[in-house]
Amino acid sequence: MTGTTEPNGTTRRRGRELLITGCWTAESGGRGHGLTVYRRDSADGSLERLSELELAAPSYLCRHPRLPVLYAVNETPEGAVTALAVDEADGTLRPLGSLPTGGSSPCHLALSADGRRLLAADYGSGSVAAFALEADGRLRERTDLVQHQGSGPRADRQEGPHAHMVVRHPDAPDDGAGELWTAVDLGADRLFRYRLGEDGRLAPDGGLALRPGFGPRQLVHAGNGVAYLVGELSSELAVLGESAGDGLTLLDTLPASPRAERPGQPENLPAHLSLSADGRLLFLSNRGADTVAVLRAGDAGRPPEPLGEYDCGGSWPRHMELDPAGGLLYVCNQESDSLDVLAVGEDGALTHLRSQPTPSPTCVLLW
């Protein structure tokens, strides 16, 4: 592969890889049809549509760590997870089966380090489901379902628990107690920690209660004992200290969008945080302000330094994906029905490159 030299002196890898989008469909009040696979040019961000597959509300996607298998939630009242084989040559998708989560409206998925387990966060019911996988990546069975309890002060969003994410702790030592996981619950204003055992069961292992009304949405492990937590309802980004033994500690918070702090601005609901490969830069999507805020990570758990705030290229930016080479940022602009490609320059400065019509996009996955 060849490359192009950027103004900041870095070299962007030139190649053509797959990109897959998920969306909200009619079953979840959206305008999309299911999954779309593109061939992307990692040099200029251009996209070539390869294939489509109708699927109910595949609002979040993740890939198996070793196999060409894709997993999608079905964010419907009777929630489910679907596994699909990906033909990496032509982008064709082949369903491998679905299983119900046991809850409603699942919105996030994550895999165990060994690729043998899959966890799902059910937003509607405030529950977390665990699944066992076959050797070829197919879904075998649901091995556990844990139900959260709790509520918050915002009646329209926190009348009960709403699990929004479940994430594996990447640095927890293997001490025989099982993998360490954290479930982020927007409705309960709480982080629930679990140990995932060999039997596929989830054992409670502490957690962290947050300020009422914070509305946590996404937890990102940054390494070196630091994590970042997106507060959707409070429009904040929190810095956490973390360790496998001592748990999570709130260190500091800062506004998710300086622009949204101005008088007369609409309510801002931050959605997704992406970290650069070196952990130096943070990119945070803001729905309401319709921006991507760029921050420089602080040292030793200090709050990040805001570097700039840029238009997202559309409206209601939800999920984002940063190219591993760091040169492109793909943004799902849900309400403008577009997948927008932004170039990442020196110190994270963003420039809009192109917009791909995409109905109700909610997730983008680089393959």
Q: In the prediction, which pLDDT does 286 show?
A: 98
Find how far residue 1's CA is from the centre of its chain: 29
pLDDT digits (tens, 9 = 90+) for 97-109: 999 999 999 999 9
Q: Is the dihedral of CA 122, 252, 321, 173 positive or negative?
A: negative
Cα(365)–Cα(63) distance, rounded to whole angstroms?
A: 8
Number of H helices, E strands in the chain: 0, 30
Domains and their CATH numbers in the chain = 40-57+259-367 (2.130.10.10)
pLDDT of residue 174: 63
pLDDT for residue 29: 94
Residue pair 8/45 in contact (Cβ under 8 Å)? The answer is no
- What rounded mean pLDDT belongs to the chain? 93
Q: For the ranges 58-67, 104-113, 165-174, 179-188, which has the lowest average pLDDT?
A: 165-174
Region 299-311: what's the mean pLDDT?
91
Sign of CA dihedral 19, 313, 238, 325: positive
The DSSP bridge partners found for residue 292 are: 285, 310
Task: Quote the pLDDT of residue 114.
Answer: 94
By CB atoms closer than 10 A (0-12, 13-18, 19+), residue 110 is middle
Task: Judge residue 159's burial from the number of C-beta atoms within 10 Å of its C-beta, 0-12 exposed, 13-18 middle, 19 or more buried.
Answer: exposed
Our measurement of the distance from residue 65's CA atom to the centroid of its chain's CA atoms, rounded to an integer in Å, reads 16
Which of the pair, 48 or 173, is modelled with greater confidence? Answer: 48
Burial degree of 300 (CB within 10 A; 0-12, 13-18, 19+): exposed
Check pLDDT > 70 for residue 177: yes
Per-residue pLDDT of 324-346, as tens digits, reads 888 999 999 999 999 999 999 98
User: pLDDT at position 14, please?
Assistant: 45
The pLDDT value given to residue 224: 87
d(CA 344, CA 333): 17
Least confidently predicted of 3-12, 104-113, 132-141, 277-286: 3-12
pLDDT score recorded for residue 259: 87
Q: Return the pLDDT at 244.
A: 67
